[in-house]
């Protein structure tokens, strides 16, 4: 099970000091398996959605760790007008370089607060678009989503204790598991087998309407075209399987076409 386990300033084998929180990969971005322990560094965000470079050197310790982790809080993104997480992460490579200069173990995972709390099924592509950060994701750095409330707790604890040691275990998350499940393949096959015949019927009706009326632009043609766009949108950009921003735009255009088509039918009735 994916988890972030905090150890605070007590030994890792002290179970009384441990607290565990769920964490997942972004939907559509499955990271290689990892199970890492090391210091968690909260990274503040300045005005203009710019990451603040750390200044405190890594404290001397008798324990060596294989990784460091950086933490970004959702509230700071919102208060400094970050449009999405990717905008804030544009400076992440500079933060990683700075931590290396300060003597920290290499950063291997960025812990990012989700929009929803940890008691909800956070991390779906309907609210966390992985393509927002895909172009700025540093090489060899995995991204792990935690609940908004979990991030608040980690932020508060890590700013009071130094170094704040955590263990992060990778998990693709419920949304990625669903995306690659047999049930999802069945839903996809059902959608194609149901919608494609309807689209063929729609094309036939458009052709017949043009032949009968002799006009390319008529109420019937517009209604059938809107219905075709709506059906095509269900195949190109199905809900909860968004792959890129073009699919998001396609989905909204298809929905708009469907609503206009339905309203036109009612008004013409």
Q: What is the mean pLDDT of residues 25-31?
A: 83
Q: What percent of the chain has pLDDT over 70?
A: 89
**Per residue in 202-212, pLDDT tens?**
888 888 888 88
Choosing from 161, 179, 197, the residue where a domain stops is 179
Can you say whether residue 43 is alpha, beta or left, with left for phi > 0 and alpha for psi between -120 and 50 degrees? Answer: beta
What confidence category does residue 7 fall into, taking pLDDT thresholds of 50, 70 and 90?
low
141 and 199 assigned to the same domain: no
89 and 47 assigned to the same domain: yes
155 and 189 assigned to the same domain: no
CATH of the domain at 94: 3.50.30.30
Q: How many CB atoms lie within 10 A of CB 148?
A: 18
164 and 212 assigned to the same domain: no
Structure tokens at 51: 């990451």
Whether residue 15 is predicted with pLDDT greater than 50 in this model: the reply is no
Q: What is the mean pLDDT of residues 183-208?
A: 86
Structure tokens at 72: 């970004």
d(C-alpha 51, C-alpha 119), whole Å: 28
Q: What is the mean pLDDT of residues 143-164?
A: 85
Q: How many CB atoms lie within 10 A of CB 3?
A: 17
117 and 229 assigned to the same domain: no
Q: What is the pLDDT of residue 106?
A: 94
Choosing from 124, 151, 179, the residue where a domain stops is 179
Q: What is the pLDDT of residue 256?
A: 85
How many distinct structural domains can be found in the chain?
A: 2
User: Which are the contacts of 94, defined by CB distance < 8 A and separation ≥ 6?
Assistant: 51, 53
Q: What is the pLDDT of residue 9?
A: 47
Domain that holds residue 210: 182-268
14 and 78 assigned to the same domain: yes
Choosing from 158, 179, 200, the residue where a domain stops is 179
- Structural Rg of the chain based on CA atoms: 24
132 and 220 assigned to the same domain: no
Angle of the 219-236 helix axis to the 245-268 helix axis, nearest 10:
150
Q: What is the pLDDT of residue 241?
A: 64
Whether residue 266 is predicted with pLDDT greater than 60 in this model: the reply is yes
Q: What percent of the chain has pLDDT over 90?
A: 16
What confidence category does residue 6 fall into, taking pLDDT thresholds of 50, 70 and 90?
low
174 and 189 assigned to the same domain: no
123 and 164 assigned to the same domain: yes
Q: What is the mean pLDDT of residues 57-66?
A: 82
User: Which are the contacts of 29, defined by CB distance < 8 A and separation ≥ 6?
Assistant: 130, 134, 143
What confidence category does residue 162 fall into, taking pLDDT thresholds of 50, 70 and 90?
low
142 and 193 assigned to the same domain: no
58 and 140 assigned to the same domain: yes
Q: What is the pLDDT of residue 195?
A: 84
107 and 208 assigned to the same domain: no
Whether residue 12 is predicted with pLDDT greater than 80 in this model: the reply is no
Least confident of 59-63, 196-200, 221-225, 265-269: 265-269
d(C-alpha 253, C-alpha 233), whole Å: 8
């Amino acid at each position: 099970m994916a988890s972030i386990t905090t150890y605070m300033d007590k030994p890792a084998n002290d179970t009384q000091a441990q607290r565990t929180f769920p964490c997942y990969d972004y939907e559509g971005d499955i990271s290689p398996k990892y199970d890492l322990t090391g210091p968690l560094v909260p990274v503040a965000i300045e005005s203009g959605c710019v990451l603040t470079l750390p200044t405190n050197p890594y404290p001397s310790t008798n324990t060596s760790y294989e990784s460091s982790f950086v933490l970004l809080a959702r509230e700071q993104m919102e208060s400094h007008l970050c449009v999405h997480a990717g905008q804030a992460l544009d400076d992440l490579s500079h933060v990683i370089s700075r931590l290396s200069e300060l003597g920290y173990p290499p950063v291997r995972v960025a812990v990012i607060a989700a929009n929803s709390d940890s008691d909800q099924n956070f991390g779906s592509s309907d609210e966390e678009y992985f393509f927002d950060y895909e172009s700025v994701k540093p090489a060899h750095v995995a991204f792990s989503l935690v609940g908004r409330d979990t991030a608040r707790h980690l932020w508060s604890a890590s700013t009071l204790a130094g170094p704040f040691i955590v263990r992060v275990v990778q998990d693709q998350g419920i949304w990625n598991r669903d995306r690659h499940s047999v049930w999802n393949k069945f839903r996809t096959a059902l959608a194609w087998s149901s919608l494609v015949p309807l689209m063929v019927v729609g094309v036939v009706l458009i052709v017949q309407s043009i032949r009968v009326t002799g006009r390319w632009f008529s109420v019937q043609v517009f209604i059938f075209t809107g219905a075709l766009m709506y059906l095509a949108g269900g195949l190109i950009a199905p809900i909860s399987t968004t792959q890129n921003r073009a699919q998001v735009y396609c989905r909204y255009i298809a929905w708009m076409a469907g609503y206009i088509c339905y309203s036109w039918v009612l008004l013409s009735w």
